[in-house]
A and B are shown apart, each in its own frame.
Chain A
Amino acid sequence: MFIKVNKDKCTGCETCLSSCPYDAIIVKDGKADITELCQLCRSCLSVCPEGAIFEVEEEADKKEKAQGSGVWVFAEQRDGELAGVSFELLGAGRRLAEKLGGEVSAVLFGGSAAGAEELIRWGADKVYHCDDGMFGAFNDEPYAGLLAELITQYRPEIVLAGATPIGRSFFPRVAARLKTGLTADCTSLDIDGETKNLLQVRPAFGGNIMATILCPHTRPQMATVRPRVMKRGEYDASRKGEVVKIRADNVKSRTKVIETIREVSEMSVNLQEANIIVSGGRGMGGEKGFQLLFDLAEALGGCVGASRAAVDEGWIPYRHQVGQTGKTVGPKLYIACGISGAVQHLVGMQSSDIIVAINKNPDAPIFSVATYGIVGDLFEILPLLTKKIKEVKGA
């Protein structure tokens, strides 16, 4: 498929220019022209007042798509423990499978037999489990090699992983090897009623824009899914399923994990899985200020996040950074303290369920996304809040 301009109809009015996210439309000799930058997003189709922009189907568009059936989810484990996103993927996988017909299977590399059973209770009909020692720690080549092998053998229609450091690192290798598409960091998945294609919605341009991506002709359709946006499946302790043991005979690895070093202090900083995040910005004034946040996070049982300004000041390590160049988070509760709310910060946290903002400047943009806004001095408010929460929780 490609997009064309009917030069007879085009009046050169330039309306279409600003509709293009990719700067792909230029005006040449008084007429609009679509350049090679076009990504086929179709944004321009509807804006032309003359109806001069249209799409052209090619033979290739009609070609038979590869077959496959069933939804697979990659169940991530770290240190033998299943990552929460695995259960969310099973929930999402079930909903897709209901619309498509077919089974939901989980793939578990490393991890335990008990973990495999747990995946069944969370909604997997089948679990492909390889407990070979080389899968204990995450290593791209063996993970990619074995998953590609399994997909080639069993031909699922859809394969999902968490958009975590692990999923986002090795899924691209698998997709490249299988010559199929991969959509990164999806926040919503659905099935197109007509074509049965997977509709993959994801943020782009730092979250300012959402895009729906299709993988119409190749199978499987692959996506990584942002943690904490999909609802978990139903847990059923009596659910039965099948565990298929997998052997890893011909996987190679040219990289080696020498050592895994944990840097989590008392407070875990696995922000993407946190239910509650207490985040601070330049307004915290320094490391001492951040101590107030650690106190509150501890009282709440949450993690500490930060704006880039605070990270750049060296008050807290980069791994705590939330935003466009940090982590994207979606906790139940996000408390932003002394953060102005620059768009680069907002894109990383605005999908949180409830946002509380504490800022002394009533015009700070953070208030535009806050469920509850508190205009005041955080140095007064935070200690009181921590104390109050301890009281409530202690009771």
Chain B
Amino acid sequence: MKIVVCVKQVPDTAEVRINPETNTLIRDGVESIINPYDMHAIEAGLQIREKTGGKVTVLTMGPPQAENALREAISMGVDDAVLLTDRSFAGSDTWATAYALSKAIEHLGADVILCGKQAIDGDTAQVGPEIAEFLDIPHIAYIRKIEDVKEGRIVVQRLMDEGYDLMESSLPVLLTVVRELNVPRMPSLKGKMAAKKAGIKKLTAADIGAEESKLGLRGSPTQVRNIFAPEAKRDRKIIDGTNEEIIDALVKELTGLKCL
């Protein structure tokens, strides 16, 4: 089984804030991490490999420093790491990102492709399904359990609002995963050593035979026009008193606002 896991290096967004006065970003000391959902995708890849045998490759498209994310994945036990990096990818939106990743996956070959549900910087959740469309293969999003996987067929649980769907798909397939799926393993000592020494394979736009016009800014249908800080709002009120008084006051306010 050939498994490819797409991972993205993201800023630890918890700490990214905007200065409302200057409309600029406050980013002091923000670290880069592997997108948390992608950690679960890596773990899922490793577990499939344990069951069916085969090879797990992690793939990221990003600047040269994204190599760190790949090394972290190697320390968890993946077999191979590929960095897709090229100046022509500059300014890619999800469409152009998915196009480039799909060309890279075509180049690598895959039976199962795993993505995180979404990346915590852009929060779009679009790249996975778009990759599947470019590859003309099926996808299933929000996988919370892999019930069975064998040659040519996979059965999974897809998380939905009111419960879950038991889904079956032919292979190759692309899955996007949610946190419920598993607990990502910690890197082993051996893994950490391997990560230091491992060679990272680099691919450029030419290597994957991507069409220039579909890459980067030129290939991106969407543009970011501007960014701004979310507005701060609401009048705040602390309700004081004995518990009984507090509750009376609260219920009165809520009734007044037609909340009850």
Contacts and interface: CB of A to CB of B under 8 A. Distances in A.
A binds B: yes
Interface of A: 1-2, 18-21, 23, 35-43, 46-47, 60, 78, 137-138, 140-141, 144, 164-165, 168-173, 175-177, 179-185, 199, 203-218, 253-264, 268-273, 276, 300, 317-319, 324-325, 332-333, 342-344, 354-356, 362, 367-376, 380-381, 384-385, 388-389, 392-393
Given A184-B124, A208-B13, A372-B253, A176 B222 contact: no
B81 to A, nearest CB: 21
A214 B165 contact: no
Interface stretch (B46-54, B92-100, B105-113): B92-100
A384 B25 contact: no
Contacts of A182: 94-95, 126, 222
B90 to A, nearest CB: 3
A164 B91 CA distance: 27
Contacts of B223: 1, 40, 213-216
A206 B120 contact: yes
B9 to A, nearest CB: 11
Interface in B181-237: 216-218, 220-230, 234-237
Nearest to A178: B221
A260 B129 CA distance: 21
Contacts of B150: none
B163 A264 contact: yes
Nearest to B237: A372
Given A208-B16, A217-B221, A173 B129 contact: yes
Interface of B: 11, 13-14, 16-18, 22-27, 36-37, 63, 87-91, 93-95, 98, 120-130, 132-134, 137-142, 155, 159-170, 173, 178-180, 216-218, 220-230, 234-239, 243-244, 246-248, 250-251, 253-255, 257, 259-260
Given A204-B122, A209-B16, A373-B236, A260 B165 contact: yes
A263 B169 contact: no
Given A176-B133, A204-B123, 4 more contacts: A35-B90, A60-B218, A175-B130, A380-B243
A261 B133 contact: no
Contacts of B98: 172, 176
Contacts of A343: 14
Given A168-B125, A182-B94, A384-B247, A137 B138 contact: no
Given A211-B226, A372-B253, A258 B24 contact: no
Contacts of A78: 161-162
